Copies of this chain bind each other. A is one copy, B any other.
Amino acid sequence: MLVQKYKDMLSGKSVIRQLSEFAAARGKEIGYENVFDYSLGNPSVPVPKEFTDSMISMLSTRESSKLHGYSPSLGITGVREAIAASLERRFAIPYRKEHIFMASGAAGALAHAFRLVTVPGDEILTFAPFFPEYHPYVDLTGAVLKVVPPDTESFQINFEAFEEMLTKKVMAVLINTPNNPSGIVYSTGTLKRLADILREKSVKYGHNIYLISDEPYREIVFEGVDSPCVSRFYDNTIMCYSYSKSLSLPGERIGYVAVNPACKDAEDMINMCGQISRGIGHNCPPSIIQLAVAQVADKTADLSVYETNMNILYKELVKLGFTCVKPGGTFYIFPKALEEDAKLFSQKALKYDLILVPGDTFGAPGYFRMAYCIDTEKVERSLAALRKFVECEYGK
């Protein structure tokens, strides 16, 4: 018999997917260049040339059966060394290869992190607004994801609600900074206070509370924004990284788990990741992609377009009277809708070929997300549609 829980999931369709399907269909009618599709977080800038060159060079010169051979289950040793060295250079934390586990993107990294520190029934806390895939990622392990309501003033952490929800059942806290969907970067103050609470409660409850830090947007931070390294604040931090956004290659499924060297069991935890892999069919990310990212460990794609787009949109949104916290990074912005029901708001926007995602599934009803990883030229053209939408529907 087929397993019912997965069968049941087939009927639920993600709002984002529905919207992006609408955008594709509408694009066939009027030309996709005329649909202002802010639904999908797909990086739009070119992959660094050094990555492509490195791939071609390896394919042209190396012995094929060696190049494409098995990776050790923790990742290729030299690749783990290169990443550890890069992290040490950038964040002055003494990472070594023993603290690095290569994973197939952030999803792969998180799948290992959750299984490292929770068993079915344990709780993981995260903070709204949050990436909605965290629900299946966590819930299907048997652990329970609970969502702390947002601080809508700043989209930093609602500490009052957090402390209330941080019970003895909580084994891990999951954060995502820079944040999808708010674009906010957690400040030094936020991370200090978070770490203090986690230390205090770990002692009180007699077990470590791990901080799982999902950082795929780490390299997309805008000018002048305080963007501290999460692992510097709290020893028991499990960093989950993906190159999807920084190198613009989300399809190649490459990232890593980096356990803070200050974490007492760091090396065991990395070795345990290799065991977890056996149960979830992970094995290791593709060998050639591992080797190629190691060549560009300190590089990123040219990510400046995201800041340009953000500035254009933020300025216009504020001018149009939207309440909006200015993003510190990512390629998302998360303004308040002009009516209470953001789903209705997004529905009305479709008439103007504006694809906006309501914030309900992100745990922040009444807000909406725009993913501005599109051409600046299109962002600029979208402003007229945005103005018309606001004027016609809300009389502003």
B248 contacts A65, CB within 8 Å? yes
Chain A residues 268 to 286 lying within 8 A of chain B, measured CB to CB, are 268-269, 271-272, 275-276, 278-286
Give 1 or 0 for each of A13-42: 1 = CB within 8 Å of chain B CB: 000000000000000000000000000001
B52 contacts A3, CB within 8 Å? no
Given contacts A47-B64, A253-B284, A285-B253, contact A278 B140 (CB under 8 A): yes
A251 contacts B286, CB within 8 Å? yes
Given contacts A55-B55, A104-B283, A107-B281, contact A68 B9 (CB under 8 A): no
Given contacts A1-B207, A64-B46, contact A279 B115 (CB under 8 A): no
Give 1 or 0 for each of A161-180: 1 = CB within 8 Å of chain B CB: 00000000001000000000
B2 contacts A116, CB within 8 Å? yes
A94 to chain B, nearest CB (A): 21
Given contacts A70-B42, A110-B281, A280-B111, contact A6 B116 (CB under 8 A): yes
CA distance A105 to B253 in the complex (A): 14
Given contacts A56-B59, A248-B64, A289-B286, contact A6 B105 (CB under 8 A): no
A239 to chain B, nearest CB (A): 15
Q: Counting chain B CB atoms within 10 Å of each CB, which of A137, A140, A248, A271 scores highest? A: A140
Instruction: Indicate if A295 sits at the interface (CB-CB under 8 A).
Output: no
Given contacts A69-B42, A115-B3, A268-B10, contact A251 B64 (CB under 8 A): no
Residue of B nearest to A141 (CB): B279
CA distance A3 to B115 in the complex (A): 7
Instruction: Indicate if A44 sits at the interface (CB-CB under 8 A).
Output: yes
Given contacts A10-B268, A42-B70, A280-B281, contact A252 B286 (CB under 8 A): yes
Q: Counting chain B CB atoms within 10 Å of each CB, which of A56, A63, A104 scores highest? A: A104
B9 contacts A275, CB within 8 Å? yes
A8 to chain B, nearest CB (A): 9
A208 to chain B, nearest CB (A): 6
CA distance A278 to B108 in the complex (A): 10
Give 1 or 0 for each of A244-262: 1 = CB within 8 Å of chain B CB: 0000111111100000000
Across-interface contacts of A282 in B (CB, < 8 A): 104, 107-108, 111, 280-282
Across-interface contacts of A278 in B (CB, < 8 A): 133, 136-137, 140
CA distance A287 to B44 in the complex (A): 16
Interface residues of A (CB under 8 A from B): 1-3, 6-7, 9-10, 42-47, 52, 55-56, 59-60, 63-65, 67-71, 103-105, 107-112, 115-119, 133, 136-137, 139-141, 171, 207-208, 248-254, 265, 268-269, 271-272, 275-276, 278-289
Given contacts A3-B115, A6-B276, contact A251 B70 (CB under 8 A): yes
Across-interface contacts of A60 in B (CB, < 8 A): 56
Q: Counting chain B CB atoms within 10 Å of each CB, which of A45, A70, A271 scores highest? A: A70
A250 contacts B70, CB within 8 Å? yes
Across-interface contacts of A289 in B (CB, < 8 A): 286
CA distance A6 to B252 in the complex (A): 28
A330 to chain B, nearest CB (A): 17
A116 contacts B275, CB within 8 Å? no
Q: Given A1-B208, A3-B116, A253-B284, list of 8 further CB < 8 A pairs?
A: A6-B275, A56-B56, A69-B249, A69-B250, A104-B282, A107-B281, A111-B280, A280-B280
CB contact between A283 and one of B10, B105, B112, B117 (< 8 Å): that residue = B105
B252 contacts A68, CB within 8 Å? yes
CA distance A281 to B254 in the complex (A): 12
CA distance A103 to B281 in the complex (A): 9
A115 contacts B6, CB within 8 Å? yes
CA distance A7 to B68 in the complex (A): 30
Across-interface contacts of A249 in B (CB, < 8 A): 64, 68-69
